[in-house]
Structure 1
Amino acid sequence: MKKSLFFILLFWTISMYAQKDSTTSPKPQQTVPASPKAPEFPGGHRAFVNEILKNFRTSALVKAEIMSARATANFIVDTEGNMVDIKIESYEHTMVRDEFLKALKMVKTKWIPAEQDGKKVRTPMRQPLVFNLK
């Protein structure tokens, strides 16, 4: 009997609490700022990768017997669409680092800059490089 009374009291308390929550007025919604529009390379990401690959020379790497490697670059797309502050974040071989940096700096096609609240903004970007010549 005591267990039954306890469960009835427990369910009654929960139902009263649930009813109390459902009668509260909702908070007014806040306006959410427009989400930023990411920078775009003309022709898309594939076109950007093709541009890098067009400038990336592997002959010196093959002579040095570097047949596969990874590297990651960081850069900023400025408000004019230029790639600036290009840096290699991580790499496995200095020759790969140097070649990747050179290939990125040779890309002269301007990006469509990012926008936030209708204004063009500088945006950090990251580009990995993975290759295997085997």
Structure 2
Amino acid sequence: MNKYFFPILFLFCGITVSAQKDSTIVPGLKPLTDVTSAPSKIAEFPGGHQAFVRKILDNFHTPPLVKADIVKAKAVATFIVDTEGNMTDIKIESYQHQMVRDEFLKALKMIKTKWIPAEQNGQKVKSLMRQPLIFNLQ
């Protein structure tokens, strides 16, 4: 286990569908016409949200950030869960430090576990997910 794991506080807010009340328009992103914005059943990670967070933490390497003296940062990722349960179109929509952005993106792309896809009227549909990250070494 990474020796910086315990002193690091990662606060992961719940994954939400893009139809949340405080969603924002991300400049430069094309509208996703084939993605269901408010499915009747949202996509689920096997084992739940905590299992998803654990996968991110397992893949997120802090030593380069510590070396660069980055002690606090925020980032928000978005991705699509397709009808097969794959995470696709992974993007970082906002971030404070390029190194945190790169590490968060790498950690998400390393996750190969298939999701249980969202459903609308009993049919599997693509859905847009959002995952915030708060990084704090203090």
> Do these two structures clear the TM 0.5 threshold for a shared fold by scoring above it?
yes
Distance in 2, matches of 1:68 and 1:50, equals 20
Aligned to 2:58: 54
> Can you give the 5+ residue segments of structure 2 that lack an aligned partner in the other structure?
1-38
Cα offset for 1:112? 0.1
Count of residue correspondences: 100
SS at match of 2:93: strand
The answer for the alignment partner of 1:109 in structure 2 is 113
**Partner residue, 1:121:** 125
Q: Which has the higher helix share?
A: 1
Higher RCO, Cα 8 Å, sep 6+: 2
- For the residue of structure 1 that corresponds to 2:134, the secondary structure is strand
What SS class does the counterpart of residue 101 from structure 1 fall into?
helix
Secondary structure of the corresponding residue to residue 115 of structure 1? strand
Aligned to 2:42: 38
Structure 1: which 5+ runs fail to align? Answer: 1-34
Larger Rg: 1
Quick check: 1:92 aligned with 2:96? yes
SS state of the match for residue 90, structure 2?
Answer: strand
* CA distances 1:71-112 after superposition (whole Å, capped 9, x unpaired): 000000000000000000000000000000000000111000
Dislocated runs of 4+, deviation >4 Å: none
1:69 aligns with 2:69: no
What TM-score comes out, normalization by structure 1 length? Answer: 0.73
Give the 3-state SS of the residue equivalent to 1:66 in structure 2.
Answer: coil
Percent sequence identity over aligned pairs: 72
TM-score, normalised by the number of residues in structure 2: 0.71
